[in-house]
Structure 1
Amino acid sequence: MLLAITRLAEKGTADAALCKQYGHECRVVSPLRAEIRSSTIQTFVLAAADHEFDAIFFTSALPAQKIAPLLPPHLTKTTRVIAIGPQTAKVLHQAGIAAETLPTFYSRDFVPYLGDWIEGKRIGIPRADVPNPDLINAIEDAGGMAFEYRCYGLEPTSEPLNLDDVDAILFTSANSYKMALLPSLDTGSLLPMAIGEVTADAMRAGGLEPKVIGDGSLEGTLKALNAYLRSTE
């Protein structure tokens, strides 16, 4: 199948190879673009270098790409670095930053992962300028202190998605669905997919029922797609 994958252009570089492993092709379509805030990144890097955080949580690969090369390699001697998934962890590792990886792809599992350790700890979170009150509230309810650095904004491209000849569309976030300019989708021929439950809920709220729902990762979604295709043969 040819999949249209809603990604920031900066995030889609490894998608084609992974899709090929599962027997598919892909086209990255970008309903959003990242507006990088260099001054915020620099402020965060200085704070991290001054050991102001007990842990840093990277919630996606893009801030890891921008920040990891600027961090001192000795950082992890005093600071835990946690990545939301293996792709984000890979970016950190390539920059020489040792990172732990959450067992799931959802930020709601960050606090349970740290457990009682989080009490009294300062958590630095470089991320997109998208509110995540559930994460912040969970950290504070567990006795931690959250310090968000909104190091890039998400702006709509305001361009209709190119869905010519595609067989399925995979939305990789709630915002990528909400901000997408979509043609009228014929769900009889175009398979709607969600990368995880949060995105699926946003699609349902907008009146589009996903036929395939992943575990929060592209690879997990491709596995779910192939299972769906086998079930409909």
Structure 2
Amino acid sequence: MIIAVTRLKEKAGKDESLCKKYGHDCRTVSPMEARIYTEKVLEFAEKANKNEFDCIFFTSALPAEAIGPLLKRWPRVVAIGPQTAKTLQGFGISCEILPNFYSRDFVPFLGDWIYGKKIGLPRADVLNPALISAIEDNGGIAMETPIYALEPSNKELLLTECDAILFTSANSFTYSIWDKKSDIIPVAIGDITAQRMIEAGVKPKVVGDGSLEGTLKALNDYIAGRQ
């Protein structure tokens, strides 16, 4: 299959090689663009280098790519998933990876350790009140820094010859312009994205576990079930 993966170009990373691993070709389609807040990136890195955080939670590869090269020292570091972890490890930054690939798993992952700890959150300029509330409700101190904006490209996705479209986030679905009545297989990377799709009248044929690899496994199971 040819799979269109909705990604920021900056976050495509290992998508192509991972798709090939599962027998598919990959095409990156970008329904949105990232605008980096350079001053905020420098501000966050300076705080980290001054040991102002007890933990940093990287919720995607883009902030890891922007901030990683600037870090001279770091506290406990948690990556939301394997691609984010690979980006950090590429800069020599050791990190832990959430067992599941959702920000809602961050606080349970830290457990009682979080109490009284300052948690650095370099994120997209998109509200995530559930994450902030979870940190604060468990005694942590959320130190959120928006370091980039996600802006819709307002361009129709190039899906010619693609057999499936894999939405990697709820916003990537919302910002996508495409023919929803086509025969292309709609795929959600996880349940949050799937819920957004269903609310908009698009039922995903495949729902992954929050990671690209897990979603590709689920897609192959779906394909095998049709044969």
Question: Contact (CA 8 Å) 2:14, 2:83: kept in 1 or not?
Answer: no
Instruction: State the distance in 2 between where 1:176 and 1:11 align.
Output: 12
| 1:205 aligns to 2:227 (yes or no) | no
| 1:105 aligns to 2:105 (yes or no) | no
Amino acid at match of 1:51: N
1:58-77 alignment, distance < 5 Å: 58-72=58-72, 74-75=73-74
Question: Contact (CA 8 Å) 2:132, 2:142: kept in 1 or not?
Answer: yes
State which of 212, 224, 228 in structure 1 corresponds to 2:222: 228
Give the structure 1 partner of residue 153 of structure 2.
157
Give the structure 2 partner of residue 48 of structure 1.
48
Q: Secondary structure at the match of 2:204?
A: coil
C-alpha deviation, 1:129, in angstroms: 0.7
Instruction: State the distance in 1 between where 2:96 and 2:211 align.
Output: 17
Instruction: State the distance in 2 between where 1:92 and 1:13 align.
Output: 12
Q: TM-score, normalised by structure 2?
A: 0.98
| 1:91 aligns to 2:91 (yes or no) | no
Q: Secondary structure at the match of 1:56?
A: strand
Unaligned runs of 5+ in 2: none
Amino acid at match of 1:56: I
C-alpha deviation, 1:26, in angstroms: 1.3
Amino acid at match of 1:141: D
| 1:214 aligns to 2:191 (yes or no) | no
C-alpha deviation, 1:93, in angstroms: 1.1
1:167-182 alignment, distance < 5 Å: 167-182=163-178
Q: Secondary structure at the match of 2:178?
A: coil
Q: TM-score, normalised by structure 1?
A: 0.96
C-alpha deviation, 1:33, in angstroms: 0.5
C-alpha deviation, 1:44, in angstroms: 0.3
Amino acid at match of 1:120: G
Instruction: State the distance in 1 between where 2:51 and 2:181 align.
Output: 50
State which of 133, 136, 142 in structure 2 corresponds to 1:146: 142
1:118-157 alignment, distance < 5 Å: 118-157=114-153
Instruction: State the distance in 1 between where 2:85 and 2:192 align.
Output: 22
Instruction: State the distance in 2 between where 1:51 and 1:39 align.
Output: 19
Most deviating of 8-17 and 58-67: 8-17
C-alpha deviation, 1:48, in angstroms: 0.7
Instruction: State the distance in 2 between where 1:100 and 1:13 align.
Output: 19
Give the structure 1 partner of residue 28 of structure 2.
28
Instruction: State the distance in 1 between where 2:178 and 2:226 align.
Output: 26
Question: Contact (CA 8 Å) 2:180, 2:202: kept in 1 or not?
Answer: no
How many aligned positions are there? Answer: 227
Instruction: State the distance in 2 between where 1:93 and 1:20 align.
Output: 23
Change (3 A) 1:89 1:184: closer
| 1:183 aligns to 2:179 (yes or no) | yes
List structure 1 runs of 4+ shifted beyond 3 angstroms: none
C-alpha deviation, 1:211, in angstroms: 0.4
Instruction: State the distance in 2 between where 1:13 and 1:69 align.
Output: 17
Instruction: State the distance in 1 between where 2:93 and 2:26 align.
Output: 30
Instruction: State the distance in 2 between where 1:94 and 1:192 align.
Output: 32
